[in-house]
Amino acid sequence: MKAVQLLVSTVLLTITSFSAVADYSLSPNGVINAGDAQDIVFTYSGDLQAEALLHGGRKTHKGYGNDYDDDTGLGKVAKRHKLLDLPALEENVEQACLALTLGQFLKAGNYEPNMPANVTLFVRNDGVALANKEVVQVISGLQNKGKVSKCQTTAGAFSLQENLEAFIAGDDKNLVNCPLCWCSRFAPGVDFPTCIVSYDGYGVLDPSAIPPLFLGAEKVIDF
């Protein structure tokens, strides 16, 4: 009986080993040699909107948490935050910049060996603010005024808006937005179908785009 169990375990281990063969290898000097162009998904959930609004958004009167238009999702989000500061915004912007810059680097394939990747950015939770054009414009304005650092890339320093639009490169499918996350933050009180149809942010807001995105991904990297 033990011999049979050992034989079965050996067969299963062998099958598992064959099915788990990686599609890349390492050269003696440590360079990764990919077998195929990788389908990679980056996810981002950093909180951008409240800090951006606090330091550069539309104000109706002075104060923390009550100085934004009540009829916008942006204002309602800002009201939920009390102690906000530029260092917090700086950290979240840096994470977004890193995802966008690394994504462009991998897509370009300008490294050895030349193996470009298909990189899609999925924004979720508070990270959906990265798809909000007003938030991105506010942050870019703060960057241009020197209040928040710009995105540092090998090609120079760029605003978040410039870096984001370079990543999207005219193809909205390069950024997929979480519909439930977006609608709950930027279209409160609006029914779900209307929220989807009226979407005017960056990228794609389509529930049907999410399953194939993750089921077809070879790697998912969270920022």
Write phi, then psi, for 24 (nearest 5 degrees).
-150, 165
Report if residue 87 sits inside a domain. yes
Number of folded domains that form the chain: 1
What's the pTM? 0.72
Q: Which two tokens stand for residue 120?
A: 């899609």
Report if residue 90 sits inside a domain. yes
Q: Which two tokens stand for residue 73?
A: 């999702």
Report if residue 32 sits inside a domain. no
52-87 residue pLDDT tens: 665 554 443 233 233 334 444 444 444 443 334 567
Q: What is the pLDDT along the chain (223 residues), one digit of tens a residue?
A: 444 344 333 333 332 222 233 344 445 554 445 445 678 899 989 888 765 665 554 443 233 233 334 444 444 444 443 334 567 778 889 999 999 999 998 888 777 666 778 899 999 998 999 999 988 988 898 899 888 899 999 889 999 999 999 999 999 999 999 999 999 988 989 999 999 999 999 999 999 999 999 998 888 989 8
Report if residue 13 sits inside a domain. no
Residue pair 43/122 in contact (Cβ under 8 Å)? The answer is: yes
Report if residue 8 sits inside a domain. no
Domain that holds residue 97: 37-222
Report if residue 7 sits inside a domain. no
Report the CATH number at residue 205: 3.40.1260.10
